[in-house]
Every structure is written in structure tokens, then in C-alpha cells.
Amino acid sequence: RTVYVNGSYLPEHEATVSIFDRGFLFADGVYEVTSVLGGKLIDFAGHAARLQRSLDELEMANPTTEEDLLEIHRELVRLNEIDEGLIYLQVTRGAADRDFAYPEDATPTLVLFTQAKSGLADNPMAKTGMKIISIEDQRWGRRDIKTVQLLYPSMGKMAAKAAGAHDAWMVEDGVVTEGTSNNAYIVKGNTIITRHLGHEILSGITRTAVLRMAQEAQMKVEERPFTMEEAKQADEAFVTSATTFVMPVVEIDGAAIGTGQPGDVVARLREIYIDEMRKAAV
């Protein structure tokens, strides 16, 4: 596999980053994951815009321009012959003598790599649905910044696995924030309910697109908090993320949602999302 590091395309075993990199020492870095369908990028502009916002919030320099970044993405897709899969991008503040204060002169580190993954669009999970558990949200207070501090979400995935589930939804002050690596939704009749944006959740690029498409399809959207109790009573539930798109949730903390099978509203949203995003891919 060919990867990208600070201006060079290299075989993965030749790519190196300093042990003094602040991404490694302080999780002082941000990332983006963009999916690839038919060799093209899904919502690249959305990911590039959020990357810039994450960097701005952390006063970190952007090592590249949106135009150059698009070229790097495309070149990696070409070099690795990715038809379906994802591109991971990470920017860290760079290498510097270890000190909590930001260094003044560090050069940011930019790393990208691809992962080929068949079955993103034709994901069998879309037919069966996910089982999720709830856990307390113990992450820091700026979840709107897409940082590489992912240990608590990893612990959540492990707790879900141990419970025989696929993922966990996180609960804070009695309401659901989001999933470990996705935004969380419930459906009641023709209404989609998902937590409003703020520092408490990541503004999903998929979330933005899906809420727009839901409204265009005459569904109602309510951006407000919901409890686990309300979720268990919902007709349908789902999550969204760049790599799972729209994925049905059929069980929450052992309780079946609706019929216990993926429902029509979520199936329809998934189809609309994949169709439209394929057409708009770059």
C-alpha cells in the first residue's frame, strides 16, 4: 500500500513520523475519514470544511489547501486502486520538545492512507441492523472538534462487544449524545429526531447531508435531545457516519426497536443517501 506523509507518496513500511510528534505524545491532532464509492470521494468538500474548523479551534496550521488535499486523496485512490473503501487523513501539530504549551515553530504533520473495503454500499448490516448498548459519556467537553483522542470510544466499542452488541450510544445528563463513532437518531412516524449540535457532539458530515435529504423527502426533522427510554419506544432507530452511511439500529439495551427488524424510513433514507452521494462524488 502506498501512503502519504508530509509531501511524499511512500510504501507504508518506509513512512515514518517522529516519536516527538505531538499527535503521539498529546493526541494533539485532528482527523477526517472520507469514503470512496466507485473510485470517487463522498462529500469531500464537507470533510475539508470540517478539517479546517477543527484546525481553527485548536489554533493549528493547515499544512495544505483544499485543492491540494483533493489531489492527494485522488492520487492515493489511483495508486492503491481503491474502488470502494475509505481515506484516513490526520494532521498533528508536529514534532517538538515535549511541553504542554503549544510549540511556536512546529511544522504540522500530514498523513493519509487508504483502506480498501468492499461492501460499504452493499453492507449486510443494513439488512439485519445493529444492536447497541448505552454507556455513560465520559469524553471531554469539546466533542465538536474531531481530535484523535479516541480511547473512550474504543472502550465503548469493547463494552459493546463484550455485551454481544455492535456499538454503544453515550448518555450524558440523561440524554443520548451520540454513538462511539457515529451520530444517533430515532424515528417516530414520519419524524427524525437527533440531538442538536453543540460542543457535546461531532457535527457529522453524513448527519448534515441526511437531515437535508430527509427534509427534501418530506420527513420532519427535530434536532433535540432524547432519552434512552424514548429511544426504546421509537418506531425505528439508526446511526450515520462517513463509512456506514445510514445504518439501522434494531435493538437498544436488549429492547427490540419497532418490529425488531430494520424499518422502511431508515431503508429509504439509506437508499436516498447512497444514490445522491454517488452522483455528487468527486
Q: Which stretches of the chain bind ligand PLP, using CB under 6 A? A: 33, 178, 181-183, 202, 204-207, 240-242
* CB 278, min distance to ligand PLP, A: 16
Q: Which of 40, 131, 146, 157 is catalytic?
A: 146
Instruction: Confirm whether 146 is a catalytic residue.
Output: yes
- CB proximity list for 100: less than 8 A, separation 6 or greater: 26
Shortest distance, CB of residue 72 to ligand PLP, whole angstroms?
Answer: 19
The angle at the Cα of 240, spanning 78 to 265, to the nearest 5 degrees, equals 120
Strand partners, 18: none
Cell of 119: 461492501
Ramachandran assignment for 228, one of left (phi > 0), alpha (psi -120 to 50 degrees), beta (any other): alpha
C-alpha distances out from residue 165 to 51, 151, 158, 159, 197, Å: 31, 19, 9, 8, 26
Rg (CA), the chain: 19
**Cβ proximity to ligand PLP, 106 vs 244, nearer residue:** 244
Question: Could you tell me the smallest distance in angstroms from the CB atom of residue 74 to ligand PLP?
Answer: 20
In the complex, least distance from residue 31 CB atom to ligand PLP, rounded to whole angstroms: 9
Residue closer to ligand PLP (CB basis): 96 or 205: 205
The catalytic residues are 146
